[in-house]
Amino acid sequence: MFEVELLTEAEKELANAYDWYEEQLTSLGNRFYKEIKYYLTLIENNPYLFQIRYSEELRAASLNKFPFLIIYWIDEINRVVYVTSIFHTSRSPKYF
């Protein structure tokens, strides 16, 4: 098993998306957060589950119910997964 660490930018993106969904509909932010947590658990258990995208190091987990990707890279030596972005798919990939 790996430890999953959200970098500062990913934490901000997660908080902003949560707040936006809560403004749209009460408890929608909670549903978004639960889906994020589900995928982070999958990544924690097997970070190689999702394919490499955009570079030789970055992997992307595509959420099922929300238009977001979890962008991360794996530090195999320390057994840590660093989440660099909780990325809305309408944005340009150059931002992560």
DSSP 27-59: THHHHHHHHHHHHHHHHHH-GGGS-B-SSSS-E
User: Does residue 69 surpass a pLDDT of 60?
Assistant: yes
Q: Which of 40, 42, 72, 43 is nearest to 55 (CA)?
A: 72
Overall average pLDDT of the 80-93 stretch: 89
Is pLDDT of 96 > 60?
Answer: no
Mean pLDDT, rounded, for 63-71: 97
- According to DSSP, residue 89 is labeled T
Q: Is the pLDDT of residue 24 over 70?
A: yes
pLDDT of residue 92 exceeding 70: no
Among 64, 72, 73, 66, residue whose Cα is nearest residue 90:
66
- What is the value of pTM for the model shown? 0.90
β-pair partners for 60: 71
The pLDDT assigned to 62 comes to 97
Instruction: Give all domains of the chain, ordered by start, each with its CATH number.
Output: 3-89 (3.30.2310.20)
pLDDT at 63 over 80: yes
Rounded average pLDDT over 69-80: 97
Q: Please name which of 76, 73, 77 lies closest in space to residue 85, comparing C-alpha atoms.
A: 73
